[in-house]
Amino acid sequence: MTTAPLPVLAILGGTGDLGTGLARRWAQAGYSVIIGSRTLEKAQTAVADLREVMAERGVAAVTVQAMNNADAAREADIVTLTVPFSHQVSTLESVRPALQGKILIDVTVPLVPPRVARVQLPPQGSAGQIAQELLGEEVSVVSAFQNVAAAHLQEGRGLDCDVLVCGNKKDAREQVIRLVEAAGMRGFHAGMIDNAAAAEALTSVLITINKQYNCHAGIKISGLDDA
């Protein structure tokens, strides 16, 4: 029986701690990863840094490339967006044709500085809904990873953190849950894209907890039979 090849993954705006953290974990799990940025040079720097860290951990055989956002979106099978809320719409508009027929994992959180510890959801309901409305039904927008601390993604060990996965198509959610598991976490179906508002709002709650207790808090789903 022939095993289907793993999808090629792109992370747009992937040069920050969140994007490079996901890239390291997916590359180590055997995926081909493209780090995208508005400028190729910035993406190349992120890839060089990632390779150096992976080599220090004894993981040299990883497939990671650098591209600008448009090329990254075009070359990938599944695309992840890890830009600040203020850049979400402009980034998606610039790559919209390349996303048609694909899954977009939207990690955007509608944080409005300086009051990032206060829930401020947009009129559309959530950043995930903004993305779905902008891109249309030919793009399967799946909201995930909003409640995962970037600092923990940079670590080499497993994560004691769960991920809520929201999207209108169950098959797309299933594929994203596999990527959550490849990154060392548990992913859970959390309903339609409308429900992304709950996960996005929780980020501000977690920021408050982090400040109060000097930690990098996440979420855990209880009451489940792991078997």
Please indicate, yes or no, if residue 192 is contained in any of the structural domains: yes
Please indicate, yes or no, if residue 227 is contained in any of the structural domains: no
CA–CA gap between residue 192 and residue 198 (Å, rounded):
11
The CATH number linked to 141 is 3.40.50.720
- What is the residue range of 120's domain? 9-213
Structure tokens at 43: 């993406």
* Structural domain total, the chain: 1
Please indicate, yes or no, if residue 222 is contained in any of the structural domains: no
Helix/strand/coil (H/E/C) assignment for every residue in 101-149? CCEEEECCCCCCCCCCCCCCCCCCCCHHHHHHHHHCCCCEEEECCCCCC
Please indicate, yes or no, if residue 224 is contained in any of the structural domains: no
Please indicate, yes or no, if residue 4 is contained in any of the structural domains: no
Please indicate, yes or no, if residue 225 is contained in any of the structural domains: no
Please indicate, yes or no, if residue 223 is contained in any of the structural domains: no
Quick one: which H or E segment has residue 98?
A: helix 85-99
pLDDT given at position 188: 98
Please indicate, yes or no, if residue 45 is contained in any of the structural domains: yes
Please give the chain's pLDDT, 227 residues, in tens: 567 799 999 999 999 999 999 999 999 999 999 999 999 999 999 999 999 988 887 777 789 999 999 999 999 999 999 999 999 999 999 999 999 999 999 999 999 999 999 999 999 999 999 999 999 999 999 999 999 999 999 887 778 899 999 999 999 999 999 999 999 999 999 999 999 999 999 999 999 999 999 999 999 999 987 65
